[in-house]
Structure 1
Amino acid sequence: MAVFGFLESLSATFGWLYFIAWSLSFYGQPSLNFGRRSTSGTTVDFPLINTLGFSAYFVSNVAFFYSPLIRAQYAHRNKGLTPTVQFNDITFAAHGLLLSVVTSSQYFFPRAWGFAPSAGSRPSRFILGISAGCVTGVAVILLAVAGAPDRDSTHDTPASAWLWLDVVYAVSYVKLVVTVIKYSPQVLVNYRNRSTKGWSISQILLDFVGGVLSLAQLAIDSYLQGDWSGVTGNPVKFALGNVSMFYDLIFMTQHYVLYRGADARGGETEALLRGPRDDEERRID
């Protein structure tokens, strides 16, 4: 009993620690933009796709944590167990959504922030396409479930039946898609420039720490339940930590090994000197 009590406390501690680590990583870009009174050298793509991702993550976490129907359907599919989503997951998602909206507003409404207009305030076709695809995918699943006869069932339902739980899963997968694609442009930019100039390594280190703690919490919760369906039943949380850590390792390798001689702090100065044409050339359309 003492061991289980310790693990429960450790899980809660890890949850809030990863919330703090991941949350702190959100402040770098908006603070830098505000300090420079400009968004030049960057684009709205990253905060915009993050807004979509955290909106989906917030909605799915709230459903898993608060909805009796969703929790009952989850339990039916996962041997009577409850979702491993915790309150700190909801808090983290809400905080990430808020900061993403704030950062996006700096690009869409520069004059309200006292910024000079920047070429990077127009989303790329790539990001708009991904966003449209995610929304369309969720809409298709929603329509399929709405027309299913057993959508409200919580027992004696075939595994292949469409339930409202599947809509929540579809929404949660939007966050996974966003996480998979949102870092790749910066990896490519670093590769082309043979440098990590302008890219904050501190946010990567915080993100990596958060990923480790998130996976540790998920593992502890599954162990306490005596069943690893806590992982398979919450694939997005499991995948988020792994995907983020994969990209973090790439960025750390670029910064500390491949391009170690480059001055990573020089990117912010160069961003101020680049003109609109340079920003347009860096867009991913």
Structure 2
Amino acid sequence: MAEWHSIQLKVLYEVLGWVAFVAWSISFYPQVIMNFRRKSVVGLNFDFVILNLTKHSSYMIYNVVLYFSSSVQAQYRHKFGSNQMIPVAANDVAFSTHAVLLTAFTLFQIFIYERRTQRFSKVTIAIVCVVWLSAAVCVFVAIHRHSWLWLISVFNTIQVTMTVTKYVPQVYMNFRLKSTDGFSIGNILLDLLGGVTNYGQMAMQSIDQKSWVNFYGNIGKTLLSLVSIFFDIIFIIQHYVLYPAKKKQNLPIQSSSEVPPQFGCKIEDCKE
């Protein structure tokens, strides 16, 4: 079993991990509160939410299994070395579980609040169905071969893919509307803080162990931080630089044909 060489780095590792947990966990609430106050989800892209739920569900499965299963941990150490630490911390388990609950609640808000004619796109629904059907097939394969580490790696790959995919509809909607109205920037600022501190936590473990296995042994967590930071910067630029003056204004009615149907709503139906 691997042990920490530096108490200071271990303390910093824990502090950064829980700062990431708090920032990422709180990041879900500005959007939930905004929806509640407006009694509307107009401006929030529905595809973003359902892809996000798929992403966090996959990430929760990966974290919970690797953190609690001794057999999976044994397979991990067999692959990467018996002296390597498990790259999942308690804050990872807490965050991913909380994220699934809050994203599911946001999805519930979509069905009870005003949404005009915004809708889930058929493309996104098809993607989600294919993802979970593929995951089910992988479960049967893993049961036959007892390849548990491979199986949770599949879920880790799913969460990375969904992390990249989920932001695109919202980025595109903001671009087409030339507005970020209805999409909480507080969510993004806290998400950025969580991504930076999460990456810092991994760095502390790697420095202490003098090994980069922590990064490529849990490539999903590494890419989660990097991809989140990349898209958070895009959202911040959209909100504060590209479309700040139009945030509180009524948007002009445009032709609905200008928005491809796969992004879930017509332009005139997405305006505030």
Q: TM-score per shorter chain, which class?
A: 0.7 to 0.9
Q: Tell me by how many angstroms 1:184 deviates.
A: 0.9
Residue 80 of structure 2 contacts residue 217 of structure 2 at CA under 8 Å; is this kept in 1? yes
**What does the per-residue CA deviation read over 1:208-264, in whole Å, with 9 as the maximum and x for residues that have no partner?**
11111000101111222222111111011000000011111212222333335x243
Q: Tell me by how many angstroms 1:202 deviates.
A: 2.3
Residue 71 of structure 1 contacts residue 82 of structure 1 at CA under 8 Å; is this kept in 2? no
Query: 2:42 matched to 1:40?
Result: yes
| Equivalent position of 1:144 in the other structure | 141
Residue 40 of structure 1 contacts residue 119 of structure 1 at CA under 8 Å; is this kept in 2? no
**What are the equivalent positions in structure 2 for 1:45-194 lying under 5 Å apart?**
45-80=47-82, 81-108=84-111, 110=112, 115-116=113-114, 118-120=116-118, 122-148=119-145, 151=146, 163-194=147-178
Give the aligned residue type for 1:97. V
**What does the per-residue CA deviation read over 1:54-80, in whole Å, with 9 as the maximum and x for residues that have no partner?**
111111101111100000000011112
Look up the SS of the partner of 2:195 in the other structure.
helix
Residue 74 of structure 1 contacts residue 82 of structure 1 at CA under 8 Å; is this kept in 2? no
Task: Classify 1:197/1:280 alpha carbon distance in 2 versus 1 (closer, same or farther; 3 Å).
Answer: closer
**What does the per-residue CA deviation read over 1:170-216, in whole Å, with 9 as the maximum and x for residues that have no partner?**
11222112111111112222222334333332222211111110001
Structure 1: 5+ residue stretches without partners: 152-162
Q: Identity of counterpart residues, as a percentage?
A: 34
CA–CA separation in structure 2 for the residues paired with 1:2 and 1:68: 20
Look up the SS of the partner of 1:249 in the other structure.
helix
Look up the SS of the partner of 2:265 in the other structure.
helix
CA–CA separation in structure 1 for the residues paired with 2:148 and 2:71: 8
| Equivalent position of 2:227 in the other structure | 243
Task: Classify 1:38/1:253 alpha carbon distance in 2 versus 1 (closer, same or farther; 3 Å).
Answer: closer
| Equivalent position of 1:259 in the other structure | 243
CA–CA separation in structure 1 for the residues paired with 2:7 and 2:20: 20
CA–CA separation in structure 2 for the residues paired with 1:259 and 1:12: 38
Give the aligned residue type for 1:209. L
CA RMSD in angstroms, aligned pairs only: 2.8
| Equivalent position of 2:13 in the other structure | 11
**What does the per-residue CA deviation read over 1:35-66, in whole Å, with 9 as the maximum and x for residues that have no partner?**
12232343432222222221111111011111
CA–CA separation in structure 2 for the residues paired with 1:60 and 1:70: 10
Using the size of structure 2 for normalisation, the TM-score is: 0.85
Q: How many residues are matched?
A: 259
Task: Classify 1:118/1:78 alpha carbon distance in 2 versus 1 (closer, same or farther; 3 Å).
Answer: same
Using the size of structure 1 for normalisation, the TM-score is: 0.81
Look up the SS of the partner of 1:280 in the other structure.
coil
CA–CA separation in structure 1 for the residues paired with 2:189 and 2:45: 22
Q: Tell me by how many angstroms 1:169 deviates.
A: 0.7
Query: 2:183 matched to 1:199?
Result: yes
Out of 186, 207, 211, which is 2:195 matched to? Answer: 211
